[in-house]
A and B are shown apart, each in its own frame.
Chain A
């Protein structure tokens, strides 16, 4: 079955790097996503990675994918207070256009 897990909380200081981790169980995942949810808002797609890639970089964001360990991470460089949000990883396995979301990681950025 599909199961996506994340740690619930992460606290970092402004200017440091944040690393948010995600593990999934379905080895047939084709796409993996990171969504951001700011307080009181819906989810917004941050970035995604195809399963045949190991890494993707987009400005301050770096996504690493370890297919062998079924581990996905999101690194945010130079973390700012505006990065405080809940971050969800999600996997798409090709069945019915459905995404399976993780539990979400609440990132708190302290001054």
Chain B
């Protein structure tokens, strides 16, 4: 079975802190994605990556950056966390050409 894991289920940070959210997939998928989920807004794509060291902006990249140094790992970075980044963050991956995305369990981030 495909497994996508995220480093934390719950995280509480203070305004201005640098925050790292990590995602690991074990199926050698080329593509990885970071979304945030907010009530009434659904899932919005922050960043995605087609390959190691490659990244593309999604619909809401402002305030975020990403890193993909290894194929299996995709990190989301909040350089200076703000309260409006309090949200559920979901990571997903898929194989190139296969359109089903596999999701991790999510990280609920609270910024105080």
Q: Which of A42, A45, A88 has the most CB of B within 10 A?
A: A42
Chain B residues closer than 8 Å to A4, beta-carbon distance? 42
Q: Which of A48, A92, A101 contacts B42 (CB 8 A)?
A: A101
- Report the minimal beta-carbon distance from B59 to chain A, rounded to whole angstroms: 9
Q: Taking chain A's interface residues, is the majority helix, strand, or loop, or is none over half, making it mixed?
A: strand
User: B10-46 vs A: 1/0 string, CB under 8 Å?
Assistant: 0000000000000000000001010100001111110
Contacts A88-B42, A104-B42 given; indicate if A41 touches B48 (C-beta within 8 A).
no
Contacts A42-B4, A42-B104, A43-B90 given; indicate if A98 touches B96 (C-beta within 8 A).
no
A interface residue numbers (CB < 8 A to B): 4, 6, 8, 31, 33, 35, 40-45, 48, 88, 92, 96-99, 101-104
